[in-house]
Structure 1
Amino acid sequence: MEGFVRVGDRIVLYNMYGTEGGLPAISFGGSPSTRWKRPDAVGSIAGSGVWLAQADRPGYGGSTRQPGRTVASVVPDVVALADELGWERFAVTGGSGGGPHALACAALLPDRVTRCAVTGSISPPIVDGPEPTAEEEAADPRRNRTSWKALHGDLRPELEETARSIMTAVEAGGPEIPPDPGAAPGPPAREDPAAMARLTATFVTGHDGWEDDLVAFAKPWGFDLGDIHVPVTLWHGSTDDRAGKYADHLAAAIPAAERRFYIGGHIPPANAYREVLRWLTLS
């Protein structure tokens, strides 16, 4: 099921997954991503008892771009989507770059958000001073060159080069998602039209949403992490050291946060994603 909502003069497109009538939840994809979920995620959601909405943030997919948006700018879109679906109360979840957007809803919609689970989320970066060195970034990922360039430079050429590199690897027979270290790669994405459609929407059609996300992360997020009082879990993979360091800072700032980890890398495997969804349904 798919649909759209209007927010002022913008359109926000969304897809629905899972069990209609199940626990209402809104999911936020990473940076970059679109509303189209992979089959393994769709399968996990189908058995979770969750009725999940995944929207394209402005500038992704078919959603109208919103120049100058902040992380907190997602909240009016979420309110419009929840009202369209008839949801007074709902859970939120977000992966990687979707994490800050889920946290924004937890902070700014305390009367509507029941629970918030984020996986591999970033934390607010440190962007003052000179451009960070690789050594500084390795020691503290909050001091990263991408966030610094988002405020002090031009991200677009770097994003376009990254996208070309990803699609070149796919065209050479690579999988849709790079495997975790030591794991076997998935099947060639070029042999799966649905996988190629997801990759094209994310890395070829346009980079506006991706760039706007990264700029929004580098600016003040528009809310205080200390104002989050709904239950929060911070998930990250056992081999994802960078996300673990981000989680250290998020856990210190969010009073209600609990740390969780799963066996794997940045993207949760199916069993871990099922556990995240199960946690959302707890009362």
Structure 2
Amino acid sequence: MRWRASDGRVLHGWLGGDPDGPLVAVLHGCPDTRHVAMGGDAAARAVGVRLLCVSRPGYGASTPHASTHASVADDLALVAGELGHERFAVLGMSVGGGYAIACAARHPDRVVALGLVATQPPGRRTESVTALMGELAPEFLAWRASVGPDDPDDEALAARWLTMLPPSDAALVAYAGPAAVAASVREALADPSGYLRDAALLVRAWEHGPAEVRCPVRAWFGEDDDRSGVGAAADLLAGFADVEVVVRPGTSHLATLVAHWPEVLSTFV
């Protein structure tokens, strides 16, 4: 699906789950897209929530843009309103957590609950986003070339992608089939600006923090997650007035969400 931002940009997303349920808006990780929410469709229908994910600028068909946590939050609030949801919950996966926090902070009268899954805390770099994107570009572009997102062979592309994931995460992602995995990878990596802007914003101080969040917060982490452990996020989590933290034993990064969609979504009903 596609919507238009207030300045005319294309916002490319996916909408599923129970059309009559309360809205849960997913802020995807990095590099990732609306495809992550598709895996939660059946769980959303069973639990009774409507599930939305809008790919950030530079991902999929969302127009590349000098986006910030704030602009992404406002884009999401606009789409939620167009769908008829004055009030909604936000669920940030990994890097998407910073955007979810911004949405809850900027729209306190509309965001009723905040979920954070394997969220990475902000960094302390002070350079401009543009400078950081330039610094990160060579390594990222070399890695992107090793993935080969332009390869038309779904099975080959999916196989390369899956070898880059922890075995438990790879098994969960592979369940969707090579065509779906390849489509997700192509949308995530077609335009390098999506990843580079996400990465640059992550390592800087964020515009909005926990002290500005009024709604209840639930956070989930995987015990075996070597990218976003609960220890690294302890200071971030301590800043929320109302937070409950769950650490899942023997669980890796993506599995913290992908293997537990029903449990995560049921907290928003």
Number of positions where the alignment pairs a residue of Structure 1 with one of Structure 2: 261
How far does residue 127 in structure 1 lie from its aligned partner after superposition?
A: 2.3
Question: Identity of aligned pairs, percent?
Answer: 29
Q: 2:17 matched to 1:15?
A: no
Task: Tell me how far apart the structure 2 counterparts of residues 218 and 27 of structure 1 sit (CA, whole Å).
Answer: 21
Please state whether the residue corresponding to 2:5 is helix, strand or coil.
Answer: strand
1:214 corresponds to which letter in structure 2? A
Check whether the contact 2:172–2:259 (CA below 8 A) recurs between aligned residues. no
Query: Structure 1, residues 50-89: CA drift from partner, whole Å, max 9, x if none?
Result: 101100111111111222x321221220221011101110
Counterpart of 1:127? 125
Counterpart of 1:275? 263
How far does residue 40 in structure 1 lie from its aligned partner after superposition?
A: 3.9
Q: 1:39 to 1:58 in 2, by over 3 A?
A: closer
Query: Structure 1, residues 195-242: CA drift from partner, whole Å, max 9, x if none?
Result: 211111212x11111111122223342223211121001211011154
Counterpart of 2:247? 261
Alignment of 1:108-187 (within 5 A): 108-127=106-125, 151=132, 154-167=135-148, 171=157, 173-174=159-160, 176=162, 180=166, 185=171
Counterpart of 2:187? 201
Q: 2:24 matched to 1:25?
A: yes
Counterpart of 1:44? 43
Task: Tell me how far apart the structure 2 counterparts of residues 76 and 183 of structure 1 sit (CA, whole Å).
Answer: 31
Task: Tell me how far apart the structure 2 counterparts of residues 103 and 234 of structure 1 sit (CA, whole Å).
Answer: 12
How far does residue 38 in structure 1 lie from its aligned partner after superposition?
A: 6.9
Point out where structure 2 has 5 or more consecutive residues left out of the alignment: 150-154
Please state whether the residue corresponding to 1:100 is helix, strand or coil.
Answer: helix
How far does residue 152 in structure 1 lie from its aligned partner after superposition?
A: 8.6
How far does residue 174 in structure 1 lie from its aligned partner after superposition?
A: 4.5
Task: Tell me how far apart the structure 2 counterparts of residues 256 and 149 of structure 1 sit (CA, whole Å).
Answer: 35
How far does residue 275 in structure 1 lie from its aligned partner after superposition?
A: 1.0
Alpha carbon RMSD of aligned pairs, Å? 3.1
Please state whether the residue corresponding to 1:13 is helix, strand or coil.
Answer: strand
1:89 corresponds to which letter in structure 2? R
Task: Tell me how far apart the structure 1 counterparts of residues 91 and 173 of structure 2 sit (CA, whole Å).
Answer: 28
Q: 1:95 to 1:45 in 2, by over 3 A?
A: same
Task: Tell me how far apart the structure 2 counterparts of residues 188 and 152 of structure 1 sit (CA, whole Å).
Answer: 31
Check whether the contact 1:175–1:189 (CA below 8 A) recurs between aligned residues. no
Task: Tell me how far apart the structure 1 counterparts of residues 267 and 102 of structure 2 sit (CA, whole Å).
Answer: 19
Q: Pick which of 39-48 and 244-253 moved more.
A: 39-48
Check whether the contact 1:7–1:76 (CA below 8 A) recurs between aligned residues. no
Task: Tell me how far apart the structure 2 counterparts of residues 280 and 156 of structure 1 sit (CA, whole Å).
Answer: 38
Task: Tell me how far apart the structure 2 counterparts of residues 106 and 36 of structure 1 sit (CA, whole Å).
Answer: 23
1:261 corresponds to which letter in structure 2? V
Counterpart of 1:250? 236
Counterpart of 1:74? 72
Could you tell me the TM-score, scaled by structure 2's length?
0.84
